[in-house]
Amino acid sequence: MVLSSLLGGCGTPSEENPLLTEYKTPFDTPPFDRIRPEHYLPAFEAALTEARAEVDSIRNNPAPATFENTIEALEYKGQRLNNIAAIFFNLLEAETSEQMQQIAQQVKPMITEFSNDLSLDPVLFERVRTVWEQKDSLKLDLDQQVLLEDTYKSFTRRGAGLPEADKARFREITTELSGLSLQFGQNVLKATNDFVMHLTDSAAVAPMPDFVKDGMAQEARDRGMEGWCVTLQAPSYIPFLTYSPFRELKERVWMKYNTRGLAADSTDNQEIVRRITSLRLEMANLLGYSTYADYVLEEKMAGNRATVDAFLHDLLEKSMPYARKDYETICNYANASGMYSDFEMKPWDWAYFDEKYKNEHYALSDEQIKPYLQLDNVRKGIFLLANKLYGLTFKENPEIPVFHPDVTAYEVYDEKDKFMAVLYLDFFPRASKRGGAWMTSFREMYVDREGHEVRPLVSVTCNFTKPTDSIPSLLTFDEFTTFLHEFGHALHGILAEGRYASLTGTNVRHDFVELPSQIMENWAIEKEFLDLWAVHYQTGEKIPTELIEKIVAARTYNAAYFNVRQVAYGMNDMAWHSITTPVNGSVVEFEKQAMAPAQLLPVIPNTCMSTAFNHIFSGGYAAGYYGYKWAEVLEADAFSLFKEKGIFNREVADSFRRNILSKGGSEHPMVLFERFRGHKPDTRAMLERMGIKE
pLDDT at 374: 98
Please compute the mean of the pLDDT values over residues 540-554 and round it to a whole number: 93
Binning pLDDT at 50, 70 and 90, where does residue 8 land?
very low
Binning pLDDT at 50, 70 and 90, where does residue 57 land?
very high
Entry pTM: 0.90
- pLDDT higher than threshold 60 for residue 632: yes
pLDDT at 91: 97
Domain covering 3-161: architecture: Orthogonal Bundle (1.10)
The β-bridge partners of 413 are 393, 419
The number of angstroms, rounded, from the C-alpha of 409 to the middle of its chain's C-alpha atoms is 20
pLDDT at 554: 86
Q: Are 532 and 384 in contact (CB under 8 A)?
A: yes
Please compute the mean of the pLDDT values over residues 180-194 and round it to a whole number: 96
- pLDDT higher than threshold 50 for residue 693: yes
Binning pLDDT at 50, 70 and 90, where does residue 15 land?
low
- pLDDT higher than threshold 70 for residue 7: no
Please compute the mean of the pLDDT values over residues 658-683 and round it to a whole number: 95
DSSP code for 137: T
Of 213, 215, 209, whose CA–CA distance to 234 is shortest?
215
CA distance readout (Å), 418 to 415, 488, 660: 7, 20, 20
Please compute the mean of the pLDDT values over residues 312-339 and round it to a whole number: 95
pLDDT at 4: 26
CA distance 300 to 132: 21
- pLDDT higher than threshold 90 for residue 553: no
Binning pLDDT at 50, 70 and 90, where does residue 437 land?
very high
Binning pLDDT at 50, 70 and 90, where does residue 73 land?
very high
> Catalytic site residues?
486
At residue 509, φ and ψ (nearest 5 deg) are -60, 140
CA distance 694 to 688: 9
Separation of first and last alpha carbons in the chain? 64
Q: Which residues contact 20 (CB under 8 A, 6 or more apart)?
A: 3, 6, 7, 42, 43, 46, 47, 80
Binning pLDDT at 50, 70 and 90, where does residue 694 land?
low
**Helix intervals (H) in 265-408:** 270-286, 292-297, 305-337, 347-362, 366-369, 375-390
Domain ranges of the chain: 3-161, 195-257
- pLDDT higher than threshold 80 for residue 416: yes
What dihedral angle (degrees, nearest 10) is formed by the CA atoms of 534, 540, 541, 545?
0
Mean pLDDT of the chain: 94
pLDDT at 200: 97
Cα dihedral sign, 203-209-210-216: negative
576-623 per-position pLDDT tens digit: 999 999 999 999 999 999 999 999 999 999 999 999 999 999 988 999
Better pLDDT: 152 or 210: 152
pLDDT at 1: 28
Query: What is the percent of the chain where pLDDT is above 70?
Result: 98
What dihedral angle (degrees, nearest 10) is formed by the CA atoms of 398, 404, 408, 412?
-90
- pLDDT higher than threshold 50 for residue 12: no
Q: Are 441 and 493 in contact (CB under 8 A)?
A: yes
Q: Are 75 and 151 in contact (CB under 8 A)?
A: yes
- pLDDT higher than threshold 70 for residue 11: no
477-535 per-position pLDDT tens digit: 999 999 999 999 999 999 999 999 999 999 999 899 999 999 999 999 999 999 999 99
User: In this predicted structure, which of 113-122, 467-476, 485-494 has the lowest mean pLDDT?
Assistant: 467-476
- pLDDT higher than threshold 50 for residue 3: no
- pLDDT higher than threshold 80 for residue 117: yes
